[in-house]
Structure 1
Amino acid sequence: MPKQLIAAAPRKAAITTYEDRTVLPHEVKVRIEHASPKHGTDLAGFRGESPHTADYFDDKEGWNLFLPRDPKDMETDGGFGRWNLGNIWVGVITEAGSDVTEYKVGDRVSCYGGIRETHIVNAVNNYYLKKLSEGMSWQNAVCFDPAQFALGGIRDAHVRAGDRVAVFGLGAIGQLAAQLAKLAGASWVAVIDPIAGRREVALKNGADAAFDPLTDDVGLELKKATGKLGVDVVLETSANEFALQQALRGLAYGGTIAFLGWARAFKGGLDLGREAHFNNAKIIFSRACSEPNPDYPRWSWRRIEDVCWEILSSSRINCESIIYPVIPFEESAAGYEKYVDQSPEQSIKLGVTF
């Protein structure tokens, strides 16, 4: 029987078996070659700490705020024991239903889904079942999701040619944001992260300077590097209050901070009575999939997705060093626990190969 990676209990992953079913006329079956999980959004759920457990965000009835769930609607087990961990996979079609015309056996494709040996997916008008272009790396394909939020931040912050930009946090979104800032015409991009390996990857991929927030006064260093002016734009992806404080220190007067990270409750380290009060900072909360897009109707989440896939498939940015480490599927349970949950400083975005 084929195998998959699941969340067995809070902070515990496991490999279990599952049964494949018959492929329907509108579906294809894919043998998975590579996959990658999320490192941010899913982690609270894996730890059993998701804010969506007791509350839900109401965007259907127009409230646009968190409201308490009806106790009878709560999922008391958190999905543990059946939650297939993972975000995006890459594989080869091995079987195609009779109604499928856009794909054929042998096509190399990518889609959203968990880390498992096979996937059976709809292949008729399925926007998310993507064909990989000739020469496209699997690492670029599995970065489709974080690339959307990086590009959303670039657009929301209005990064323009000649701007000086600082990127705080060098997980997958921050790494991609640094490359996309250069692609957008930024003249100077600084990256900030306490993990040396992540800074080295960003520098290798085109960043101009890197700072360690554990040893550097980052705000002051950004001012020094820009002749006291400060950076025009900050892309804050770490969702850390100390990072936001340093971003406010290093920002130019009237500059913009795009806050991309999914934050938890701040417990200290942020003082809005200091630089934020004097320097006319603008903070924009950026989430690429929130609709309507700030530039609606010209832009939408779908347009961001289209542009990201084109950039990734044409190799205009490089994700090969962002997918690190890459481990075999047989080690994915222990690897997920270690690299995603327990020791994230030893990874950027985990890759799994079959």
Structure 2
Amino acid sequence: MNRTMLAGRMNFATRTFGVKEVPLPEPGPGEVRVRVRAAGVCLSDVHLIEGLLRPMLLRGDEVTLGHEVAGEVDAPGEGVTGIGPGARVVVGAGKRVDDVVWTMGVDYDGGWAEYVVAPAEVLLPIPDSLPFEQAAIIPDAVSTPWGAVEWTGRIRAGESVGVWGIGGLGAHGVQLLRFAGAAPIIAVDPVEAARERALEFGADLALDPADPDFDARIAAATKGAGLDAAIDFAGVAPVRSQALKALRTGGRLVLVGISGGALTVENDGPFQYTRKQILGHYGSEPRHVADLVRMVELGRLDFSRSVSGTLPLTEAAEAVEALTSKKGNPVRLVLIP
């Protein structure tokens, strides 16, 4: 086997990204080397390249990006049993080190590469019926909104929910809210194509946040009560102010999008009087990924519409640019090493 491979590397000292030749990683005890078959391109990857996000636990200045990965087991490390070469797997997006969660592709090398090494316990077998490019996006693009809906947001069937930002996470948020029985689901995005996609994914109503009748249309859709919950996938201050205003008494705002700036409540008196809540959300738990894979296998969920396009690993920079500029309004772009 060639002892080198291609990897998409981000250097935080020089603020540069590029695909280059690096040594082939060797699995240590309890680890597995996986041949990457598909790796999703996430807005978090863009934020790392742009400097909005920085690793907190990375040892050194450089890391291979990519936290949405599916592939085949290549080489189990010492002590690994029960999973052998050729097994189809999805790779969990993080690992626990001394009770601290490290994020793959941020704090340690990820899957924008021909091979990735991960702890055996974060690998989840996937059925032959699930294509690699669809499986790859589950550990973040799907599991993060599912965690926000099921875990942090505690969304119950029949609750009215607003979704701000219908990109990769928000589109899946709409789909998963529909699956969970939320009603009505109101999608909010300034881009017309994103609003159309929200309706295709199951929203009951799609609004432009600049619509002069925005408040009235929210009131009409909720029969004057306001939203039970709102989920911010956009991560910008105006979204949060608008979403808070749209909540009913006791409503909750779930923050998924990261702004990198201050979180401000414009007037704490009305906020406290109406007993509204702001809940932070990040990532998902391993059980969310396992649940989603099982639901796909049983035909309850379908993510075939989620992959907007595939590109070779060597064109990772072009994929980042397409996501940044929203060229083609992608749900998810996937790299194929």
TM-score class, shorter-chain normalisation, is 0.7 to 0.9
Could you say which residue in structure 1 is the equivalent of 2:107?
none
User: Which blocks of at least 5 consecutive residues in structure 2 are unaligned?
Assistant: 94-109
- 2:20 alignment partner, one of 16, 25, 33: 16
- AA aligned opposite 2:317: A
Q: Does 1:90 align with 2:70?
A: yes
**Which residue of structure 2 lines up, in the alignment, with residue 108 of structure 1?**
88
Q: 2:322 aligns with which of 339, 345, 348?
A: 339
276-285 vs 326-335, which deviates more? 276-285
CA contact (8 A) 2:88 2:128 kept: no
Q: Is the 8 A contact 1:141 1:313 kept in 2?
A: no
Contact 1:236 1:258 in 2 (8 A): yes
Secondary structure, in 3 states, of the residue corresponding to 1:104? coil
The equivalent of 2:302 in structure 1 is 318
Q: Cα RMSD (Å) of the superposition?
A: 3.3
Alignment correspondent of 2:193: 197
**Which position in structure 1 is the counterpart of 2:259?**
263
The DSSP-based 3-state class of the residue aligned with 2:198 is helix
Shift of 1:247: 1.4
2:231 maps to what in 1?
235
Match of 1:180 among 157, 176, 181: 176
Question: How far apart are residue 168 of structure 1 and its match?
Answer: 0.9
Residue 266 of structure 1: how far off its partner (Å)? 4.6
Tell me the TM-score normalized by structure 2.
0.78
Map 1:23-172; keep pairs closer than 5 Å: 27-40=31-44, 42-50=45-53, 79=61, 82-96=62-76, 99-111=79-91, 112=93, 113-122=110-119, 126-138=120-132, 139-154=134-149, 155-172=151-168
Alignment match, 1:250: 246
8 Å contact kept, 2:250–2:277: no
Query: How far apart, in 2, do the equivalents of 1:97 and 1:52 lie?
Result: 27
The answer to whether the Cα contact below 8 Å between 1:23 and 1:96 also exists between their aligned partners in 2 is: yes
Aligned equivalent of 1:283: 277
Structure 1 CA distance, aligned partners of 2:237 and 2:33? 45
SS of 1:350's partner is strand
Give the whole-Å Cα distance in 2 for the aligned partners of 1:208 and 1:288.
Answer: 26
Does the 8 Å contact 1:86/1:115 carry over to 2?
yes
Please say if 1:2 is aligned against 2:9.
Answer: no
TM-score using structure 1 length? 0.75
Q: Secondary structure at the match of 2:43?
A: coil
Give the share of equivalent positions with the same residue, in percent.
23
- Range 97-106 or range 188-197, more displaced: 97-106
Question: Which residue matches 1:329?
Answer: 313
The 8 Å contact of residues 36 and 350 in structure 1, kept in 2 or not, is answered as yes
Seen in structure 2, the aligned counterparts of structure 1 residues 148 and 211 have a Cα distance that, compared at 3 Å, is: same
Q: Give the deviation of 1:140 after TM superposition.
A: 3.8
Cα deviations across residues 26-69 of structure 1 (Å, max 9, x unaligned)? 554432221013313x444322344667xx9xxxxxxxxxxxxx
| Structure 1 CA distance for aligned equivalents of residues 30 and 262 of structure 2 | 47
1:344 deviates by: 7.3
| Contact 1:201-1:322 within 8 A present in 2 as well | no
Q: Residue type matched to 1:30 in 2?
A: V
Q: How far apart are the structure 1 equivalents of 2:278 and 2:18?
A: 39
Equivalent pairs counted in the alignment come to 314
